[in-house]
Amino acid sequence: MLQFRPDSCKDAAEAPPNGACVAVSARWRHEMADGSWIPQQAALSEQEVRILRALADDARTTNAALAESVGIPASTCLMRVQGLRERDVVRGFHADVDRRALGLGLEVLVAVELAEQSSAATGRFLAACRTLDRVMAAMQVSGDHHYLLQVYAASTDELLATVIAPLEALPEVRRTNTTIVFEHWRRQSVLGGMAAT
């Protein structure tokens, strides 16, 4: 259940339909029942979507080049990018490292069924996953398994020694199922068919 804190709206136009809001980073946010905060979904202008597409193509571009490619003044572009970062729409800029150049030629998905799904058991399992250097991501999923792990390794021997054996030794893990990835295609940007709102 969402709760709203009706304190500091500076402008009635900012308020959600029920009239309550909190001014946080120039945007109101929802307060969850547990006290955590989630940002209100940000509406993106056409300029912002064009900026995001250009940054997805080349995050190292200069502000001047970005502004030119989007067709807006450099000062406006800089303000828009800063606004996107402040609203956590752009969360960072990353180097795309080829894992094979590091000798990690094997990509594997490890499906994990937990012995129990309590918060404590799940927390211990995820803490253990974070200690395994070859585990790149852990995703909670529906279906026969509870988690899907993305793993990079140099070989099947390394995979067994550094990931599978430690996982299967955990009391929280009932069983694992390993799938080798032969080919991996990934969209570089979530902006595929996204339009401005």
Q: What gap in Å lies between CA 144 and CA 37, rounded to an integer?
A: 31
Q: Which two tokens stand for residue 139?
A: 């995703």
The total of structural domains in the chain comes to 3
4 contacts 20 by C-beta, under 8 angstroms? yes
For residue 19, give its domain range.
2-39
- Is 136 found in the same domain as 115? yes
Whether 107 and 177 map to the same domain: the answer is yes
Token pair for 100 = 């094979």
Residue 196 in any domain: the answer is no
56 and 106 housed in the same domain: no
Mean pLDDT of 57-68: 94
Are residues 110 and 166 part of one domain?
Answer: yes
Question: Cα–chain-centroid distance for residue 125?
Answer: 20
Helix, coil or strand: residue 37:
strand
What is the pLDDT confidence band of residue 95, given thresholds at 50, 70 and 90? confident
Residue 56 sits in a domain whose CATH number is 1.10.10.10
Does residue 53 share a domain with residue 30? no
Instruction: Say if residue 140's pLDDT is above 70.
Output: yes
76 lies in the same domain as 130: no
Q: Where are the beta strands (DSSP E) in the chain?
A: 2-3, 23-24, 27-32, 37-39, 106-114, 135-140, 147-153, 173-181
Q: Is pLDDT at 33 greater than 60 in this prediction?
A: no
Assess if residue 127 is contained within a domain.
yes
Which pLDDT score, from 0 to 100, does residue 96 have?
83
pTM of the predicted structure, to 2 decimals: 0.67
pLDDT for res 34: 54
Domain shared by 109 and 163, yes or no: yes
Q: What are phi and psi of 174, to 5 degrees?
A: -85, -50
pLDDT score for 63: 96
List all residues 6 or more positions away from 136 whose beta carbon is below 8 Å from its beta carbon: 150, 151, 152
Rounded CA gap, 80 and 47, in Å?
8
pLDDT at 48 over 50: yes
Is the separation of the CB atoms in 149 and 132 below 8 Å?
no
Q: Identify whether 174 is part of a domain.
A: yes
Any domain includes 195: no
Q: Could you tell me which residues come within 8 angstroms of residue 64 by beta carbon, excluding any fewer than 6 positions away?
A: 74
In the predicted model, is pLDDT for residue 154 greater than 90?
Answer: yes
Q: What is the mean pLDDT of residues 54-66?
A: 93
Write down the pLDDT at residue 57. Answer: 86
Domain shared by 112 and 148, yes or no: yes
Mean pLDDT of 92-103: 89
For residue 20, the SS3 value is coil
